[in-house]
């Protein structure tokens, strides 16, 4: 047990700070992905002249490996756009881009799943189109999308381990740092894997609760 | 009768691509009267009902609500211009619709469904909307389910909630599109009873239905549609006991033993 104490317990501050960075970067990426995904989806569905652009972006984000995306945002964007200026920002932006491609499709499915009759019932009261979208269509689409949203968060957490390669000090980065000091990988990497498993397990359990609640309360299939 | 009909349908045609579903239908609905539309599936009766509030835009013809055309404006010299959607929406408030599939909004409670349009469309204060909702829920005898989500209700309860939602707009006319067709047989009566009471209370109603006993009992006028045209029209007495049209006779023979 001596090794565990020396390599894991005594390094807990480093590991916890890494976990903090991981959580922070994942949350930023998640929020960014939701906003980006919504925008892409709305443009694709309702802004006809820009539809091809939206489709191109969605397919591009979805089809590029996260590692390539990360390198691209980190090394190409600053040259071309002058932004992002930190590795941390590049990290969450790259994660957000990829997930926004997937979420755009999730939201689209949610919007298209709202039965036509629900819109007609609203229209028959004289409700204008924009209000129908805001009050009747969008809330249902978001509820339908909720379980997939949670699922996408677990994908972000898993992908986030790659930001360590652009030196963002996340959990994976700190764990490798400890390995590189003593060259004793067994305990540290096992503990790190354990932390990721626990984190992701918690999220997916929360997702299950959400979809059960949706089915029970609203009769919506997530 | 001197007063203008509540609803006047004039030579309405509706075409879906090459298919002509309505081939020129005209009729009037007077205030506080009940008009039933019967006919085989595909005869055009649901399409006709949907044309009355422009959920389907007629290909030709006109719908007048208390003398005002729904689709176009007429200026003093009789020149017509298309009515903007904003104005059509204002006129739609006067027409409550009850759908075959209920179409309650699943993310809102029954109460939420009922007060949504009065608050957002009519601009009623929440307190007034709640009072209206209370009254409408009593009419459909669903006060105890106000805070349930639609998914928790039976089909009959959902349809009654949908009727309450339509009533909360205080429409001049209620349009029913096969309101009991997707209900289990044992649940149709609770919906039909509510509709009977509405009719008795003087609600102007247009009802597309396959419930012949109900149509016969409640209607002031019955229209039999066939192939996009009104094939038989008259009092329930006349249509059900002495139809002039052979097709109507055959149709009724299948329903009335």
Instruction: Give the residue-averaged pLDDT of B107-132.
Output: 97
Chain B CB contacts of A121 below 8 Å: 97, 99, 103-105, 162, 165
Cβ-count burial B80-113 (b if 16+ within 10 Å, e if not): eeebeeeebbebbbbbbbbbbbbbbbbbbbbbbb
- Using a pLDDT cut of 70, give the percent of chain A over it: 98
pLDDT tens-digit readout, B232-244: 999 999 999 999 9
Residue pLDDT, tens place only, A80-122: 999 999 999 999 999 999 999 999 999 999 999 999 999 999 9
Residues 61-90 of B with CB under 8 A from A: 85-86, 89-90
- What pLDDT, on the 0 to 100 scale, is given for residue A6? 86
pLDDT at A214: 85
A218 reaches B (C-beta below 8 A)? yes
Residues of B in contact with A220 (CB under 8 A): 106-107, 151
What is the rounded distance in angstroms from the CA atom of residue B165 to the CA atom of residue B177? 15
Q: Which residues contact A188 (CB under 8 A, 6 or more apart)?
A: A7, A8, A11, A175, A178, A179
The predicted-structure confidence for B27-39, as pLDDT tens digits, reads as follows 999 999 999 999 9
How large is the average pLDDT for residues B146-160? 96
Min Cα separation B231/chain A (Å): 28
Task: Compare all CA atoms of chain B with the CA of A124 and give the residue at the minimum distance.
Answer: B92
In this model, does residue A221 exceed pLDDT 80?
no
Q: Is B105 on the interface with A (CB under 8 A)?
A: yes
Record: contact B55-A123, CB cut-off 8 A:
yes
Q: What number is the average pLDDT over the span A176-199?
A: 94
Asked if B106 and A136 come within 8 Å (Cβ–Cβ), the reply is no
- CA–CA separation, A27 vs A127, rounded Å? 36
- Asked if A122's CB is within 8 angstroms of B101's CB, the reply is no
Q: What is the pLDDT of residue A77?
A: 94
The stretches of chain B forming alpha helices (DSSP H) are 45-52, 85-92, 110-120, 126-139, 155-167, 185-200, 212-218, 236-241, 246-255
What is the arithmetic mean of pLDDT over B188-198?
Answer: 96
CB < 8 Å from B in window 139-178 of A:
139-140, 143
Spell out which residues of chain A touch residue B120, defining contact as CB-CB under 8 Å: 127, 131, 135
For residues A154-182, give the mean pLDDT. Answer: 94
Q: How confident is the model at residue A215 (pLDDT cuts 50, 70, 90)?
A: confident
Closest partner residue to A219 (CB to CB) among B53, B106, B120 is B106
Residue contact B99–A115, C-beta within 8 A: no
Q: What is the pLDDT of residue B200?
A: 95
Return the pLDDT at B257.
61
- The per-residue DSSP string of A25-86 comes to HHHHHHHHHHHHHHHHHHHHHH-GGGHHHHHHHHHHHHHS-HHHHHHIIIIIHHHHH----S
Q: Do B106 and A127 touch (CB under 8 A)?
A: no
* Percent of chain B surpassing pLDDT 70: 98
pLDDT, residue A120, reads 97
pLDDT number for residue B79: 80
Give the pLDDT score at B2: 53
Q: Which residues of A touch B166 (CB under 8 A)?
A: 124-125
CATH number, position A68:
1.10.3720.10
B88: closest chain A residue by CA: A126
Quick check: A82 contacting B, CB < 8 Å? no
- Residues spanned by the domain of A42: 2-218
On the question of pLDDT at A185 being above 80, the answer is: yes
**Do the Cβ atoms of B103 and A121 come within 8 Å?**
yes
The lowest-confidence range among B81-85, B91-95, B99-103, B128-132 is B81-85
Q: Does A128 touch chain B (CB under 8 A)?
A: yes
Q: Is the pLDDT of residue A169 over 70?
A: yes
What is the model's pLDDT at position A7? 86
CA dihedral B47, B49, B53, B57 (to 10 degrees): 20
Q: How many domains does chain A have?
A: 1
Residues of A within 8 A of B93 (CB-CB) are 125-126
* Digit-coded pLDDT (tens) for A27-76: 999 999 999 999 999 999 999 999 999 999 999 999 999 999 999 999 99
């Amino acid at each position: 047990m001596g090794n565990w104490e020396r390599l894991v317990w005594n390094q807990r501050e480093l590991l916890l700070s890494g976990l903090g960075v991981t959580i922070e970067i994942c949350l930023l990426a998640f929020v960014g992905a939701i906003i980006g995904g919504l925008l892409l989806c709305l443009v694709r569905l309702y802004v006809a002249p820009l539809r091809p652009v939206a489709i191109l972006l969605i397919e591009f984000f979805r089809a590029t490996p996260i590692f390539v995306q990360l390198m691209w945002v980190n090394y190409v964007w600053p040259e071309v756009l002058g932004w992002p200026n930190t590795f941390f920002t590049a990290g969450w932006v790259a994660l957000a881009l990829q997930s926004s491609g997937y979420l755009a499709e999730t939201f689209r499915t949610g919007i298209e799943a709202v039965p036509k009759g629900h819109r007609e019932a609203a229209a028959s009261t004289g409700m204008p189109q924009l209000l129908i979208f805001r009050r009747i269509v969008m809330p249902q689409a978001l509820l339908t999308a909720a379980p997939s949203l949670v699922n996408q968060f677990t994908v972000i957490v898993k992908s986030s381990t790659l930001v360590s390669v652009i030196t963002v000090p996340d959990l994976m980065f700190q764990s490798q740092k400890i390995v590189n000091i003593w060259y004793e990988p067994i305990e540290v990497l096992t503990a790190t894997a354990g932390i990721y498993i626990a984190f992701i397990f918690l999220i997916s359990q929360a997702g299950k609760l959400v979809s059960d609640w949706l089915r029970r309360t609203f009769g919506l299939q997530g | 009768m001197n007063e203008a009909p509540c609803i006047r349908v004039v030579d309405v045609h509706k075409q879906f691509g090459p298919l002509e579903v309505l081939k020129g239908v005209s009729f009037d609905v007077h205030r506080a009267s009940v008009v039933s539309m019967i006919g085989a599936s595909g005869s055009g009766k649901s399409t006709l009902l949907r044309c009355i509030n422009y959920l389907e835009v007629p290909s030709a013809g006109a719908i007048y609500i208390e003398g005002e055309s729904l689709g176009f404006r007429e200026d003093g010299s009789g020149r017509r211009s298309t009515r903007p959607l904003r104005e059509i929406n204002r006129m739609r408030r006067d027409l409550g619709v009850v759908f075959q599939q209920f179409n309650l909004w699943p993310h809102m409670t029954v109460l939420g469904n009922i007060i949504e349009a009065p608050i957002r469309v009519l601009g009623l204060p929440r307190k007034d909307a709640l009072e209206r909702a209370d009254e409408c829920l009593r009419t459909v005898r669903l006060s105890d389910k106000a805070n349930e989500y639609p998914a928790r209700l039976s089909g009959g309860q959902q349809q009654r909630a949908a009727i309450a939602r339509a009533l909360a707009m205080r429409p001049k006319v209620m349009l029913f599109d096969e309101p009991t067709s997707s209900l289990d047989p044992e649940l149709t009566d609770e919906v039909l009873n509510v509709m009977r009471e509405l009719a008795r209370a003087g609600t102007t109603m247009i009802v597309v239905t396959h419930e012949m006993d109900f149509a016969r009992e409640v209607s002031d006028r019955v229209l039999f549609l066939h192939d996009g045209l009104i094939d038989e029209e008259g009092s329930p007495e006349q249509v059900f006991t002495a139809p002039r049209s052979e097709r109507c006779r055959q149709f009724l023979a299948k329903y009335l033993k």
